[in-house]
Amino acid sequence: MKHRRSSPGDAPARAPANRTQVNADESPIAWLRRRKDRNGDPMISQTQFDAGERLRADFWFAQMTPRTTMNWSSMTPSQSGRRYGAAQRTGAEMTDNAVAAAERVRRALAAVGPELSGVLIDVCCHLRGLEEAERAAGWPQRSGKIVLQLALTSLARHYGLERSAAPAKSAVAVRHWGSEDYRPLFDVPEGT
């Protein structure tokens, strides 16, 4: 571990009070963002990374992770009716914001679909590695990266970070076999 000497003029950088500090080194998608493919491009794009981190932030803020120990947050000491830390917000505001974050997570996962939402939960929210996610899903080796890329692209499209491609003109036109005056015949059931 390397230590840096601080000079008297160095002031510690402070994070905004309403933002949670995130260690990017613990995120598998941050690792993929730093890694390069054969062409020298990042393995996931910036919009894919932003979408994954947005899902992760909502997931953690909504406290959707399973608890393995006691929740000590309600036991924080109080002084003159004020709590330490995020004391400026009331408990009701915190609960409303957590419920809203949980709803955003549910909507995002529903938009991505059940086929791709599992890998997003495993990798972005539970911070599991791709190999572990592949084994848990029973996928072939090295397929997790492609599935994750598809899931992150779909998630970015849901968040409005990436636009979907416009349909080709040939896909819009409906063609049929017949002459110009051809009209299809429909069988109409009797009595309607």
Q: Would you say residue 35 lies in a domain?
A: yes
Q: Is residue 191 part of a domain?
A: no
Structural domain range at position 54: 24-65+86-172
CB 33 within 8 Å of CB 144: no
Domain assignment present for residue 187? The answer is no
Specify which of 17-21, 126-130, 182-186 reaches the highest per-range mean pLDDT. Answer: 126-130
- pLDDT at position 98: 87
Cα–Cα distance list, 87 to 13, 62, 136 (Å): 21, 18, 40
| 19 found inside a domain | no
Q: Which of 36-40, 42-46, 56-60, 169-173 shows the lowest per-residue confidence on average (mean pLDDT)? A: 169-173
Phi-psi region of 41 (alpha: psi -120 to 50; beta: other; left: phi over 0): beta
pLDDT number for residue 72: 62
Within a domain: residue 76?
no
pLDDT score for 153? 94
Flag whether 7 is in a domain. Answer: no
Q: What is the pLDDT of residues 99-146, one digit of tens each?
A: 889 999 999 999 999 999 999 999 998 888 888 988 888 888 888 889
C-alpha–C-alpha distance, residues 21 and 12, integer Å? 14
Number of domains in the chain: 1
Mean of pLDDT values over 40-50: 91
* 150 within a domain of the structure (yes/no): yes
CA distance 38 to 19: 36
| 131 closest CA partner among 48, 122, 91 | 122
